[in-house]
């Protein structure tokens, strides 16, 4: 079970705008962790880690140092999630080839890789796991996909009493019934693993997200959107890294206007996140190999521990206020116009710019309704009377 590793494991997710150096910073953080003596896994949903580390990415798990393993690249041919979708469609009499189309949908296109990651986490071999995740616009779909896995596990695969007709069905259609049960059981196991991974990702004593941007137009807006989405789903963003800044050594007056624009954007970035902002200068060439990556880690983190938590989180809260119940959800940098609430049979659905999360309510709430909600600053407050 994943829970048995929570006290000794540290997971750091990196994502950011394309070309900002996400893979390089992921590699630098993983190398720094491994050099400190911690068994470390660098896992990539793309293909940038191998280039930064100077290794051959052909093997499923590549040894990159005494304490560093690397897994990267596209999903392997044996994709558990895609194969299960194919079996499900086949069982329902549909075209198996549709499984590839389903598996390519936003939020689902990395599920097979995340199952690989979950298996490596469950092995217990690593103290630190660094995930070089998808580009930011794709990464923000992953929390919703993992949330859906947990929700469907509860809705579809919850225990149910056996119908009095099931023995007859099995007697007259045993092969068909057993085939369906096999597909059902495989789906339950896969969703159980994904739900466990979701629980690990939102455990703010285990996992944090670090966002990487450059000081360019659009970065502050992207950070504000990411902060809201990560907050809604309960992910801790413990740092923002701004890369490729002009070094102080560049004093030519030709770059004066560029430096001024960069300073303005950097100030806007700092105002667009509650996390500490780290910086890295532009280098003559991208860092490659252990020494160059360690130098980058020292520049980015300074005296901080690269594997530590660089700031604390703000967990959601559910409490009683007199005779009412109150749900408080931290959704930073959103606007009231971007938020919407609906009451479902099993909880409250909060929507943010098309993404939504269901917040289950305790049994003691019963049939009460959410009468009003307010959003001031960073916290959405829902009152249930």
Domains of the chain: 2-155+194-301 (3.40.50.300), 317-384 (2.60.40.790)
Q: How far is CA 51 from CA 24, 116, 255, in A?
A: 9, 21, 30
Find the helix packing angle between 290-301 and 22-35, rounded to 10°.
100
pTM above 0.85, yes or no: yes
Q: Both ends of the chain: CA-CA distance in Å?
A: 38
Identify the pLDDT of residue 153.
64
Task: State CA 7 to chain mean position distance.
Answer: 20
Q: How far is CA 140 from CA 169, 213, 240, 325, 340, in A?
A: 44, 15, 15, 30, 18
Identify the pLDDT of residue 92.
66
Task: Enumerate residue ranges in the chain where pLDDT < 50.
Answer: 1-7, 160-161, 163-174, 176
Identify the pLDDT of residue 67.
96
Name the token pair of 139. 């990464």
Contacts of 242 (CB under 8 A, 6+ apart): 213, 214, 215, 219, 266, 269, 277, 278, 279, 280
């Amino acid at each position: 079970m994943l829970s048995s590793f929570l006290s000794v494991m540290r997971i750091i997710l990196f994502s950011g705008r394309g070309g900002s150096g996400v893979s390089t910073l992921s590699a630098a953080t993983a190398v720094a962790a491994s050099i400190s003596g911690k068994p470390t896994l660098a896992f990539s949903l793309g293909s940038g880690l191998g280039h930064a580390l100077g290794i051959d990415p052909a093997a499923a798990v590549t040894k990159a140092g005494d304490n560093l393993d690397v897994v990267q690249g596209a999903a392997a041919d044996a994709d558990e999630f895609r194969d299960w979708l194919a079996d499900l469609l086949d069982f329902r009499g549909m075209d198996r080839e549709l499984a590839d189309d389903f598996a390519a949908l936003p939020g689902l296109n990395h599920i097979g890789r995340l199952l690989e990651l979950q298996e490596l986490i469950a092995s217990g071999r690593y103290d630190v796991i660094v995930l070089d995740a998808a580009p930011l616009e794709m990464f923000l779909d992953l929390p919703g996909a993992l949330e859906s896995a947990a929700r469907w596990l509860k809705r579809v695969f919850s225990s149910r009493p056996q119908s009095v007709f099931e023995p007859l069905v099995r007697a007259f259609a045993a092969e068909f019934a057993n085939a369906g049960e096999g597909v059902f059981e495989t789906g339950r196991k896969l969703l159980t693993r994904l739900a466990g991974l979701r629980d690990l990702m939102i455990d703010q004593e285990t996992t944090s997200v670090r966002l990487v941007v450059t000081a360019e137009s659009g970065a502050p807006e992207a950070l504000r959107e990411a902060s809201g989405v990560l907050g809604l789903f309960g992910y801790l963003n413990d740092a923002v890294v701004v890369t490729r800044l002009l070094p102080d050594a560049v004093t030519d007056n030709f770059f004066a206007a560029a430096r001024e624009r960069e300073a303005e954007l950097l100030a806007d970035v700092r105002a667009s996140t509650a996390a500490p902002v780290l910086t890295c200068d532009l280098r003559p060439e991208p860092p490659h190999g252990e020494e160059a990556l360690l130098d980058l880690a020292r520049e980015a983190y300074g005296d901080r521990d690269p594997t530590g938590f660089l700031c604390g989180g703000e967990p959601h809260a559910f409490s009683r206020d007199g005779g009412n119940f109150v749900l408080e959800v931290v959704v930073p940098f959103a606007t009231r116009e971007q938020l919407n609430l609906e009451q479902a049979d099993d909880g409250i659905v909060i929507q943010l710019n098309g993404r939504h999360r269901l917040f289950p309510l305790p049994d003691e709430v019963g049939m009460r309704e959410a009468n009003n909600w307010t959003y001031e600053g960073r916290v959405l407050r829902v009152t249930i009377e």
